[in-house]
């Protein structure tokens, strides 16, 4: 038989398929609310002014070359990235018990962390990781059984066989957090289970636990000896404030919850394609950290060998230069602020202007949601989102998630009216 006759054709990636359909559409007022990338008020990708500045500095730096970075990444990048998420005065950093490895953006961090846990985490029975329901759809990809060569010897194939299990997250009626369901799952899961948590701006729901709820979650995780696997792809981008968006992670560290953090600079620095990210694992002491670092290096070596340098240099410059850091914060506020404005305007159009039937409070009513997220779930029926696409040329994923960044002062009225027609 032909060599690859056994390879089935995979379905196209849903988001990229949506983007392709949007591009092919010739309708002048078409709206793309599918892609999870920031757009300015002219619906254009936005290169952050501070990134332009940092790039210029790099361009003029004659001392730079194209040598390999160390396996764990650019030292000044990983150390400043750790301080950004864990806090300037983090005791864990001061005690040298944080292992930080530069990764291929957030996806790479998730993958490396999943691989490390599958090799070394002492599960209690089945190797299961608990994801939220719904979750960012790609999360599942990291946990799909994969065959990969052992780093020691290419002759041995070792399987990592995490399987996702699901934690209820949304209460459909209010589009709020199903906190009771979440806690019940934390309590009923076998001890030492792994829970994937989004540090802020949960994707795709935009629903985050409150401060008090995080405290309860930490209590139960500690009591049940679980492991917190944090994914943080929106620090600063969610509320406009880097520290506020890191609060849950820092609180968990202060409580001594065993955890790791997968960090991405795709959204908050607008460096999507440069693939800048890091994995930070907070361990109990320096001696453990040294052992963990050595094994993460072994895995990294067999996965990507060394991480890419350009984006890491840009971010390191910004994080380590007080002036650039302030400029970055202003750029982040520009992005978060525009999205918050779109939320307010959409809410006003639906409730005051069009008097659209239904309750739209979830767009703005929870302080956390309003300030912390870039997207929310309409609680749509699949057919409604399809009608929006087919009749109004508004492109969104079938679960009704829209990316607020796709709205701007020119298309928001059109979108609100289309939405109004669909739900009437
Ligand atoms: N985690 C979450 C929840 C995300 O939404 C994303 C991107 O959309 C990522 C991780 C990783 O993205 P990237 O690999 O581009 O950093």
| Residues 153, 162 contacting (CB under 8 angstroms) | no
Which atom of ligand 1 has the smallest separation from the CA of 106? 16
Q: Identify the helix (H) or strand (E) that includes residue 367.
A: helix 367-372
pLDDT for 135 beyond 70:
no
Q: Which residues contact 424 (CB under 8 A, 6 or more apart)?
A: 356, 357
Q: Encoding tokens for residue 57?
A: 């500095």
Per residue in 391-406, pLDDT (tens digit) is 999 998 766 677 888 8
Q: Encoding tokens for residue 264?
A: 């991405």
Q: Encoding tokens for residue 237?
A: 């981008």
Q: Which of 106-120, 213-227, 362-376 has the highest mean pLDDT?
A: 213-227
Give me the residue label for tokens 């960044």: 405
Mean pLDDT is lowest, of 8-12, 176-180, 343-347, for: 176-180
pLDDT at 136: 59
Cα gap 265→254, rounded to integer Å: 24
- Map residue 162 onto helix, strand or coil: coil
Residue 178 pLDDT grade (very low, low, confident, very high; cuts 50, 70, 90): confident
Angle at CA 277, nearest 5°, toward 273 and 282?
A: 170
Mean pLDDT is lowest, of 44-48, 127-131, 262-266, 384-388, for: 127-131
Give me the residue label for tokens 């006759």: 5
pLDDT for 138 beyond 70:
no
pLDDT at 381: 62
Which atom of ligand 1 has the smallest separation from the CA of 202? 3
Residue among 243, 262, 260, 264 at smallest CA distance from 252: 260
| Residues 251, 101 contacting (CB under 8 angstroms) | no
* C-alpha 81 chain-centroid distance: 15
Which atom of ligand 1 has the smallest separation from the CA of 277? 16
Active site residues: 136, 231, 267
Whose alpha carbon is nearest atom 6 of ligand 1? Answer: 233
Q: Identify the helix (H) or strand (E) that includes residue 249.
A: helix 247-255
Tell me the mean pLDDT in the region 348-373: 70
Cα gap 79→73, rounded to integer Å: 10
Which atom of ligand 1 has the smallest separation from the CA of 265? 16
> Measured in angstroms, how far is the CA atom of residue 391 from the centroid of ligand 1?
30
pLDDT at 374: 36
Which atom of ligand 1 has the smallest separation from the CA of 104? 14
> Measured in angstroms, how far is the CA atom of residue 421 from the centroid of ligand 1?
33
Cα gap 273→265, rounded to integer Å: 10
User: pLDDT higher for 89 or 163?
Assistant: 89
pTM, whole model, 2 decimals?
A: 0.89
Cα gap 119→162, rounded to integer Å: 10
The beta-carbon contacts of 415-418 under 8 Å, at least 24 apart in sequence, are 415/31, 415/33, 415/346, 416/346, 416/349, 416/350, 416/353, 416/354, 416/356, 417/354, 418/388, 418/391, 418/392, 418/394
Per residue in 44-74, pLDDT (tens digit) is 999 999 999 999 999 999 999 999 999 999 9
> Measured in angstroms, how far is the CA atom of residue 12 from the centroid of ligand 1?
19
Name the residue of 136, 204, 272, 374 whose CB sits within 8 Å of the most ligand 1 atoms, as the mutation to test its pocket: 136
Whether a cis peptide bond, with omega within 30° of 0, leads into 204 is yes
Whose alpha carbon is nearest atom 8 of ligand 1? Answer: 36
pLDDT for 22 beyond 90:
yes
Pocket of ligand 1 (CB under 6 A): 36, 105-107, 136, 198, 203, 231, 233, 264, 266, 272, 277
User: pLDDT higher for 92 or 366?
Assistant: 92
pLDDT for 212 beyond 60:
yes
> Measured in angstroms, how far is the CA atom of residue 107 from the centroid of ligand 1?
6
Mean pLDDT is lowest, of 40-44, 204-208, 295-299, 410-414, for: 204-208
pLDDT for 370 beyond 80:
no
Per residue in 405-422, pLDDT (tens digit) is 889 999 999 999 998 998
- Map residue 245 onto helix, strand or coil: helix
> Measured in angstroms, how far is the CA atom of residue 247 from the centroid of ligand 1?
19
Name the residue of 15, 103, 233, 269 whose CB sits within 8 Å of the most ligand 1 atoms, as the mutation to test its pocket: 233
- Total residue count of the chain as it appears in this document: 424
- The count of other CB atoms within 10 Å of the CB of residue 191 is 11
E-state strands within 51-106? 98-104
Tell me the mean pLDDT in the region 379-392: 78
Whose alpha carbon is nearest atom 13 of ligand 1? Answer: 106
Whose alpha carbon is nearest atom 12 of ligand 1? Answer: 106
pLDDT for 164 beyond 80:
no
What is each CA distance from 194 to 2, 121, 225, 232, 247, in whole angstroms? Answer: 42, 9, 9, 16, 20
pLDDT at 33: 87
Residue among 200, 121, 199, 134 at smallest CA distance from 161: 121
pLDDT at 25: 96
Whose alpha carbon is nearest atom 11 of ligand 1? Answer: 106
């Amino acid at each position: 038989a032909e060599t690859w006759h056994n390879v089935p054709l995979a379905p196209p990636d849903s988001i990229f398929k949506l983007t392709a359909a949007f591009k092919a559409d010739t309708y002048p007022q078409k709206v793309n609310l599918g892609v999870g990338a920031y757009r300015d008020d002219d619906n254009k990708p936005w290169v952050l002014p501070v990134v332009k500045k940092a790039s210029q500095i790099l361009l003029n730096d004659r001392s730079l070359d194209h040598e390999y970075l160390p396996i764990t990444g650019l030292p000044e990048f990983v150390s400043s990235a750790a301080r950004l998420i864990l806090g300037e005065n983090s005791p864990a950093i001061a005690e040298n018990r944080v292992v930080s490895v530069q990764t291929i953006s957030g996806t790479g961090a998730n993958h490396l962390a999943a691989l490390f846990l599958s090799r070394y985490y002492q599960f209690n029975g089945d190797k299961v990781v608990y994801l939220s329901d719904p979750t960012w759809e790609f999360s599942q990809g990291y946990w799909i059984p994969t065959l990969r060569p052992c780093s020691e010897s290419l002759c041995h194939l070792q399987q990592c066989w995490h399987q996702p299990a699901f934690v209820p997250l949304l209460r459909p009626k209010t589009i709020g957090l199903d906190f009771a369901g979440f806690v019940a799952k934390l309590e009923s899961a076998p001890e030492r289970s792994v829970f994937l948590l989004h540090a802020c701006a949960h994707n795709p729901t935009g629903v985050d636990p409150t401060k008090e709820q995080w405290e309860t979650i930490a209590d139960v995780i500690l009591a049940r000896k679980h492991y917190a696997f944090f994914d943080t792809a929106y620090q600063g981008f969610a509320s406009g404030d880097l520290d506020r968006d890191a609060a849950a992670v820092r609180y968990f560290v202060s409580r001594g919850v065993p955890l790791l953090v997968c960090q991405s600079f795709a959204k908050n620095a607008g460096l999507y394609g440069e693939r800048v990210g890091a994995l930070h694992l907070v361990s109990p002491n320096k001696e453990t950290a040294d052992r963990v670092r050595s094994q993460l290096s072994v895995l990294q070596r067999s996965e990507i060998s060394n991480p890419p340098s350009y984006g890491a240099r840009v971010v390191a410059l910004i994080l380590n230069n007080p002036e650039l850091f302030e400029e970055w914060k202003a750029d982040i506020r520009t992005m978060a602020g525009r999205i918050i404005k779109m939320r307010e305007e959409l809410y006003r159009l639906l409730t005051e202007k069009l008097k659209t039937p239904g309750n739209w409070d979830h767009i703005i009513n929870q302080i956390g949601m309003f300030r912390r997220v870039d997207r929310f779930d309409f609680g749509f029926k699949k057919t409604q989102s399809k009608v929006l696409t087919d009749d109004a040329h508004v492109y969104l994923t079938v679960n009704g998630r829209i990316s607020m960044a796709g709205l701007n002062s020119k298309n928001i009225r059109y979108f609100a009216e289309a939405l109004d027609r669909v739900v009437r």
